[in-house]
Amino acid sequence: VLDKRRPALTQDALYREMQKDSLDGRGIAGYVRLEKFYGLLKDLTKTLWSRQGADAELVEKTVEERYARLRGMLALGFSSRFEAGLEARASLYFDKEKLSPLISPVYTCVPRENRSWRFVPPKAVIYQWGACYDLKAYWEQTKAELAQLSSRAQGPSPAEIIAAYEKEIGFDIEREVIPVFGHEFGGFFTGVDIVQERLWPQVVLFVEIKDHEKAEGFVKNIISKVAALPSRQEEYNGQVITSFQWTAGFSPSYTFLEDYLLVATKDDLIKAARDAAVEPAKRLTAQPFFQDAAPGLGGKNNSVFYLRADALARQTEKVLVWRHEQYLREAAKQEAFLK
């Protein structure tokens, strides 16, 4: 480059575009030309598999199929700056026309308002929301993969496999399941509970629903087939919550809140979500620490990710202390046994 026998990176059009999107100020910046990077990985994978004696034709076909999902990804830019705090920005550049049908909806859908903020409580340590999930596209991809597997080995056809599964769950997937759910999916993590020397992550997952009645029928049908546990229904703050008592510290629960199905590892988490939905002051977005640290997350987006580093550090410390205490107890038992 110095001898001008090769063009400098600054001559790369995508790199120049990334520089326009980068944060100003001191910090860390990076740039990856994904097309070339994936090409190198693909060639390396083929070489390694071939050296292990794999069939050359099969290697070629398998690797190309796997990396086909990444086609259309052009470049990734990253920049950061340190001022009052750390601010980072990542920019992904892609060719819409070349994207795999499986991931295309994630990057090409229209940004929308994030309504799930309304039921996220202040104690959320990690939160994620996406508005571009396309169940129909995922289902088409699943059928295509089943067809490929069927062509390679003897066995039931894809149609027979799907028919058997639909008979088991009691629903036609394309007509009675996919239309029931929307494009939004997400969840939040509030920490870990230690009950009777066991570690229980506290998690809520949610998915947008389009038809409450059909969604409730689907959930009840699934539960009747997989959960032989006593359940109870409780009305809390105008919300009906269904819970299953599995063991101390873990009581799987679900409810339909606004236009979402919420599934949690504990009913207290759904109660906190309901409180946030009813009282704006009990929402994560109402807290000063969130407003100071997360500007712009309340607007229209395709996806949102939030992590509170100090709270995550405390939860990590809690887990490490628990693991250390477990180790000490196990060591004491072994020592007593040897005596």
208: Cα within 13 Å, side-chain hemisphere = 18
Question: Taking the model in full, what pTM does it have?
Answer: 0.81
pLDDT value of residue 20: 85
For 314-335, what is each residue's pLDDT tens digit? 999 999 999 998 889 888 888 8
For 246-274, what is each residue's pLDDT tens digit? 787 788 999 999 999 999 999 999 999 99
pLDDT value of residue 152: 65
Rounded to 10 deg, the angle between the 158-169 and 212-226 helix axes is 90
Burial class (CB in 10 A: 0-12, 13-18, 19+), 330: exposed
pLDDT value of residue 138: 85
CA distances to 231, 248, 331 from 325, rounded to whole Å, are: 34, 20, 10
With bands split at pLDDT 50, 70 and 90, how would you rate the model's confidence at 280? very high
Q: What is the rounded CA–CA span in Å between residue 128 and residue 185?
A: 8
* Under 8 Å between Cβ of 80 and 23: yes
